[in-house]
Chains A and B, each alone.
Chain A
Amino acid sequence: MAIETTVVGSYPKPPDEGQTFTVRKTLHALERGDVTEDDLRAAQDELVTTVIKEQEAAGIDIVTDGHARWDDILTPFARKMRGFEIGGLLRWFDNNVYYRRPICTDKIEWGGPASVEAFRFAQSVATVPVKATLPGPLTFAKLSVDEFYGDHQEFVLSIARVLAQEAFELEAAGAEFIQIDEPALLDAPEDLDLAREAIYVLTSELKSAETTLATYFGDAKRLGPELFDLSVSGFGFDLISGPENVQVIKELPPEKRLQAGIVDARNTRLEDINDLVREIEMLCSIVPHTNLRVSPSAGLEFLPREKARAKLTRLAEAARRVE
């Protein structure tokens, strides 16, 4: 039996040591006015192609575009929808990585697709399915400033309605897998009912896409088994930063998929393949193996490129070795 493998989202942009970092150079040149937006797009296209080829070569079954065009997971969406301005830099959870805080100053409305064109390109260069990723409405709201609604629920649901439109368009463009990132839900058990409503808004119009609610950087213990009432096909957990998640997944209903983050996306130490095999076997004793998909613990952009690639290769090798 083969256990499926996937990634959580981002992938390192810098090339291997000694290679030219084209995207970085092009961005500098664009700042100076020496090149055009088209040149940047071409450099990003090339990066997306490389990133997808690397994931495929490592043996990953469902890949992403590595967020190769994004600075963080909120800005591309906040920029496209109406009602948001882009604010200052803040720390991305407990990482030495930053994001720009969206500031809601007006009624939130759909302003056109933010990620569909990039998804189409990624799928056109991939030979395996590409997973689309969206920021979850609760995480989006909690990491933003609301200067317009003054009502948390209305704010979250307004974001959810726009993201629902984005998900619908992604599905229409051929996305078979859509991941919704809700890391902020782990620290917000009081918002679980609201998250359930928001995720329902986001996913209820989808016809066939498989949806995953991804959490990372901690465990979901405080959410309790009610988490699994959320209307998605599966759930993603970080078993590195949240070892307690092993207990959480014991409650996973049999019809739900598990995306288990078992390779540390935030530390360079390479996992031993035999340890990974044992970890996967342990997970197979908890969930049906056909429902299990293994992944890194979070987006891989926290790592240098070579380490990310080495980790994916080991993950896929371990998944193949499980009997």
Chain B
Amino acid sequence: MGVELPGPGLWTTSVGSLPKPEYILKARSRFARGEIDRDELRELERKATKEWIEFQDSIGTDVVVDGEQYRGDMVAFFAEEMPGLDIGGLVRSYGNRYYRKPIATGPVGRDHPLTVDWWEYAQSLTYKPVKGMLTGPYTICDWSFNEHYASRRDFVLDLAKVIRDEALDLEKAGARFIQIDEPAASTRMDELDLVIESMAIVTEPLSAHTITHICYGKFHEAYPKMLDIPVDQIDLEFANSEYSLLEEFSTDPFSKFIGLGVTDVHTHAIESVDEIAEGIRKSLKFISPEKMFVDPDCGLKTRTVDEAKEKLVNIKKAVDVVRSEL
């Protein structure tokens, strides 16, 4: 790792999003109704960001996140600010959950940095490294409609240049950890090459420690090929799949840093310290501690603030238990 972190490894972090407190949810809907202006909303988002940074510092998190209090959907946040992408109508993801799916209507580009000011603000609040958080080109393409590009590949490769420029700006601002999320990467095995090709465009000029998060997919088909994605670290969900991916690691060793997801983000149940510690011990048979970051399975934004805090506290306690056994 091109970055020095204290201790024998087994560092703690978060995947990205953290729950929005009630006052942010209210402020967002008031903003949507035109009852407050952007500055007022932003002040509250800064307050919530500060609270999450302070919380992570208080429990001793090694690599912190800003918690994305100012983002709605992880694709729409980027789409809203990018020329070439329009925000479309509501479509359903499941049950009563809907999102505004972007539409590519022209060549995509970037006329200003999208995440740097928030990163700088978050980093100003802590001595711990704050991760730069980007959504990957393949996922932005996959979760958008396309009315402009002749092929998905053309669309993805153009997006890759935009995300690369954003990552370079984050690095210039001082980010030493940059995560490029590709949750859609394990959707279509015949496009894994495109994921790899586009990620290479993003990470090639970077010297920061690069991470990608992949979720909800055909892991067993995508492994070991996913190791060809040119990043230093892959973050995966283990709790949700009862650590079944570890079986694959005995035949094809995991060659990168790992982000080990140890708490399910879709359940209210709080995993016990013992349960999490056991999961980490099992995983240490395949990956050495100095290559391991421990975190929740995915972004915690679907949990309540209290549930998310309890899950993060238990992760830290479990890590301390296992660290003491090393």
Chain A residues with a Cβ under 8 A of chain B:
12-14, 17, 21, 24, 27-28, 71-72, 88-91, 94, 96-99, 267-269, 301-307
Q: B77-99 toward A: CB 8 Å interface, digit per residue (1/0)? A: 00000000000111111111010
Please state if B89 and A306 are interface contacts (CB–CB under 8 Å).
yes
Please state if B89 and A304 are interface contacts (CB–CB under 8 Å).
yes
How far is the CB of B182 from the nearest CB of chain A, in Å? 13
- Which of B64-72, B111-119, B141-149, B227-235 contacts the other chain? B141-149
Identify which of A88, A268, A301 contacts B145 (C-beta below 8 A). Answer: A268
Q: B181-196 toward A: CB 8 Å interface, digit per residue (1/0)? A: 0001001100000000
CB of B103 closer than 8 Å to a CB of A: yes
Please state if A304 and B93 are interface contacts (CB–CB under 8 Å).
no
How far is the CB of A70 from the nearest CB of chain B, in Å? 10
Known: A89-B266, A91-B216, A267-B147. A13 touches B92 (CB 8 A): yes
Identify which of A17, A71, A94, A269 contacts B95 (C-beta below 8 A). Answer: A71
Known: A90-B216, A98-B93, A99-B94. A268 touches B266 (CB 8 A): no
Least CB separation from A99: chain B residue: B94
Please state if A305 and B89 are interface contacts (CB–CB under 8 Å).
yes
Least CB separation from B218: chain A residue: A91
Which B residues are CB-close (under 8 A) to A305?
89-90
A13 CA to B93 CA, complexed, in Å: 12
Identify which of B88, B95, B240 contacts A304 (C-beta below 8 A). Answer: B88
Please state if B92 and A268 are interface contacts (CB–CB under 8 Å).
no
Which A residues are CB-close (under 8 A) to B176?
none
Which A residues are CB-close (under 8 A) to B184?
96
A65 CA to B88 CA, complexed, in Å: 24
Which A residues are CB-close (under 8 A) to B95?
71
Q: Could you give 11 example pairs across A and B, Cβ below 8 Å?
A: A13-B92, A14-B91, A24-B96, A72-B94, A89-B266, A91-B216, A94-B188, A97-B92, A268-B103, A269-B147, A304-B89
How far is the CB of A90 from the nearest CB of chain B, in Å? 7
How far is the CB of A58 from the nearest CB of chain B, in Å? 17
How far is the CB of A76 from the nearest CB of chain B, in Å? 13
Chain B residues with a Cβ under 8 A of chain A:
88-96, 98, 101, 103, 142-143, 145-147, 184, 187-188, 216-217, 240, 266
A17 CA to B89 CA, complexed, in Å: 8
Known: A89-B266, A269-B146, A269-B147. A12 touches B91 (CB 8 A): yes
Least CB separation from A28: chain B residue: B96
Known: A27-B96, A269-B147. A301 touches B91 (CB 8 A): yes
A248 CA to B191 CA, complexed, in Å: 24
How far is the CB of A240 from the nearest CB of chain B, in Å? 13
A305 CA to B103 CA, complexed, in Å: 14
Least CB separation from A72: chain B residue: B94
A254 CA to B188 CA, complexed, in Å: 35
Please state if B94 and A89 are interface contacts (CB–CB under 8 Å).
yes
A149 CA to B103 CA, complexed, in Å: 45
How far is the CB of B249 from the nearest CB of chain A, in Å? 23
How far is the CB of A297 from the nearest CB of chain B, in Å? 14
Identify which of A12, A13, A91, A304 contacts B187 (C-beta below 8 A). Answer: A91
Which B residues are CB-close (under 8 A) to A88?
240, 266
Q: Known contacts A97-B92, A98-B94, A301-B92; can you find 20 more A-B pairs with CB under 8 A?
A: A12-B92, A13-B92, A14-B89, A27-B96, A88-B240, A89-B266, A91-B187, A96-B101, A96-B142, A96-B143, A97-B93, A97-B94, A98-B93, A99-B94, A267-B145, A267-B146, A267-B147, A269-B147, A302-B91, A306-B89
Please state if A304 and B96 are interface contacts (CB–CB under 8 Å).
no
Please state if B266 and A71 are interface contacts (CB–CB under 8 Å).
no
Which B residues are CB-close (under 8 A) to A97?
92-94
Please state if B94 and A307 are interface contacts (CB–CB under 8 Å).
no
A202 CA to B258 CA, complexed, in Å: 48
Least CB separation from A301: chain B residue: B92
A99 CA to B143 CA, complexed, in Å: 17
Please state if A303 and B91 are interface contacts (CB–CB under 8 Å).
yes
Known: A27-B96, A91-B217, A97-B93. A304 touches B101 (CB 8 A): yes
